[in-house]
């Protein structure tokens, strides 16, 4: 599945999986004590004491060693080899039990020992299959001495038991191979996914930095364009006002008026680009004051009333009479409303309607909605409509000016106020832009 060059090193995960799980080591001690309680009448006291002391010493040493290895700076492969050695010794400590029973044990004693060893070796699969040699060492160390002792007794019942132990050990080895392969495959996939995640995160950070640099560069460019454009507007205004003397040719007056109007429009676009660039780059700050919201909305309606009348669009207010004053940036609030109303006017055909409504929601949110009866936007293109400099290629948009930053700028300004901006649209029915601003 993985080429030699792309296979990630899973040894650190294997070592961590083995060393983290200490339940198997503690289980060895608990089960050993249980075995002694059952076999204490069969085995001599000295033998019993020696075996349980050896088990306790070995497993205690393994516990301390596992704790130390997890914190050590050793290479993961070296940790695996040390742990494997401990697993082999632990298996052999169980293998010693049938050896001790060989001179004195009955069929029942060997059956009990076999039962204990079978349970320990089966249960160890999940804990030790992080590293196949560790499990195989534990399995063979525990089962081969038991099988050898049973076969040495040469009686039919013992021979049958010995054969069963060998068959059981083979089956566990096969099962552990499949289990280990699946586990290692999962580890490799996790490593590969983690590596891809790091790659994607690095790419995301690079893109975010590039985006930040783009907006900063655009903001600086817009700032530098304002000075010459102001000069164009100023000088053209002087010329059309004939401050320095009359202009003889009427055509020249027309050209000067065109220059002034075009320059004014270009400066407006430059200012909008500067605002959206500063907002996207995190360079825009607010100057909050107490604002009469009802008055601000009325001013906005008045400012756009003439344009609506010229285009044959009905501009309808539905503003609550109990709107409170709120703390916000008055100029930016006006800019938000102007952008949204201008956008609605651009997309509403003659005979259409725009409704500006405002009321209080949930006692501490001001909700302002601007709904038009324009052609609407398909749902799958709403996100596109909120992207700066994106314009829809339809006849309604081409009839009017605009560079596709009204909605994105309005959204960013609303978010800077701690509010929420949502856009809902139905093709053929129109679009509703909703601003929700906190009153507190």
Q: What secondary structure letter does DSSP report for 349?
A: P
pLDDT interval class at 346 (50, 70, 90): confident
Give the pair of three-digit tokens for residue 197: 């995640």
Segment 64-101, tens digit of pLDDT? 998 899 888 899 999 999 999 999 999 999 999 999 99
Q: What's the rounded mean pLDDT across residues 297-305? A: 90
pLDDT score of 150 more than 80:
yes
| In the predicted structure, residue 40 carries a pLDDT above the cut 50 | yes
Interacting residues of 206 by C-beta distance below 8 A, sequence separation 6+? none
Q: pLDDT tier at 21 (50, 70, 90 boundaries)?
A: confident
- The secondary structure element, H or E, covering residue 289 is strand 289-292
Task: For helices 76-101 and 23-39, give the axis angle rounded to 10 degrees.
Answer: 10
Q: Are 329 and 288 in contact (CB under 8 A)?
A: yes
Collapsed DSSP state (helix, strand, coil) of residue 318: strand
CB 318 within 8 A of CB 368: no
Q: Give the three-state DSSP class for 205.
A: helix
Band (22; pLDDT cuts 50, 70, 90): confident
Mean pLDDT of 228-252: 82
Rounded to whole angstroms, the Cα distance separating 51 from 139 reads: 19
Cα dihedral 240, 241, 243, 245, rounded to 10, equals 60
Look at residue 1 in the predicted model and tell me its pLDDT.
40
Where does the pLDDT of residue 406 fall: very low under 50, low under 70, confident under 90, or very high at 90 and above? Answer: confident
**pTM for the predicted model, two decimal places:** 0.53
pLDDT at 252: 83
Average pLDDT, the chain: 85
What residues have CB less than 8 Å from 8, skipping those under 6 apart? 2, 188, 191, 192, 195
Pairwise CA distance, residues 120 & 138, whole Å: 10
Which residues touch 88 (CB under 8 Å, ≥6 apart)? Answer: 137, 138, 141
Q: Which two tokens stand for residue 248?
A: 């003889």
Order of strands across the sheet with 365-372?
Answer: 314-319, 353-361, 365-372, 430-438, 420-426
Beta-bridged to residue 354, according to DSSP, are: 315, 372
DSSP structure class, residue 185: H
Q: What confidence score (pLDDT) does residue 396 get?
A: 44
| Contacts of residue 333, Cβ cutoff 8 Å, sequence gap at least 6 | 291, 296, 417
């Amino acid at each position: 599945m993985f080429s030699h060059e792309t296979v990630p090193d899973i040894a650190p995960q294997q070592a961590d999986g083995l060393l983290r799980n200490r339940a198997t080591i503690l289980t060895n001690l608990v089960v050993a004590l249980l075995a002694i309680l059952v076999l204490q009448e069969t085995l001599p006291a000295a033998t019993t004491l020696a075996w349980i002391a050896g088990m306790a010493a070995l497993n205690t040493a393994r516990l301390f060693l596992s704790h130390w290895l997890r914190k050590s700076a050793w290479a993961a492969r070296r940790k695996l080899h040390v742990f494997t050695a401990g697993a082999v010794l632990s298996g052999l400590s169980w293998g010693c039990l049938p050896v001790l029973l060989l001179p004195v044990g009955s069929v029942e004693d060997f059956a009990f020992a076999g039962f204990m060893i079978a349970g320990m070796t089966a249960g160890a699969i999940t804990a030790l299959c992080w590293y196949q040699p560790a499990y195989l060492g534990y399995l063979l160390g525990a089962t081969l001495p038991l099988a050898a002792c049973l076969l040495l007794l040469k009686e039919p019942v013992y021979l049958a038991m010995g054969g069963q132990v060998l068959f059981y050990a083979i089956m566990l080895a096969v099962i552990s191979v499949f289990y280990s392969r699946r586990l290692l495959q999962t580890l490799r996939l996790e490593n590969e996914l983690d590596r891809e995640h790091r790659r994607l995160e690095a790419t995301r950070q690079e893109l975010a930095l590039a985006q930040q640099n783009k907006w900063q560069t655009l903001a600086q460019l817009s700032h530098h364009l304002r000075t010459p454009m102001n000069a164009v507007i100023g000088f053209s205004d002087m010329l059309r006002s004939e401050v320095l003397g009359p202009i003889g040719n009427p055509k020249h007056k027309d050209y000067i008026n065109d220059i002034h109007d075009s320059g004014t429009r270009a400066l407006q676009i430059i200012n909008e680009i500067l605002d959206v660039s500063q907002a996207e780059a995190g360079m825009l700050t607010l100057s909050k004051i107490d604002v009469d919201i009802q008055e601000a909305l009325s001013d906005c309606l008045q400012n756009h009333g003439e344009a609506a009348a010229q285009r044959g669009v009905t501009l309808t207010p539905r503003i609550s009479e109990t709107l409170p004053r709120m703390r916000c940036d008055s100029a930016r609030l006006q800019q938000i409303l102007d952008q949204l109303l201008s956008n609605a006017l651009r997309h509403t055909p003659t005979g259409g309607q725009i409704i500006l409504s405002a009321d209080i929601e949930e006692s501490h949110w001001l909700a302002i909605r601007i709904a038009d009866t324009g052609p609407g936007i398909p749902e799958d293109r709403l996100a596109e409509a909120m992207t700066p400099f994106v314009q829809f290629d339809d006849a309604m948009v081409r009839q009017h000016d605009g560079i596709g930053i009204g909605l994105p700028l309005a959204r960013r300004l609303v978010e800077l106020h701690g509010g929420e901006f949502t856009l809902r649209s139905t093709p053929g029915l129109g679009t509703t832009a909703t601003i929700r601003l906190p009153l507190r």
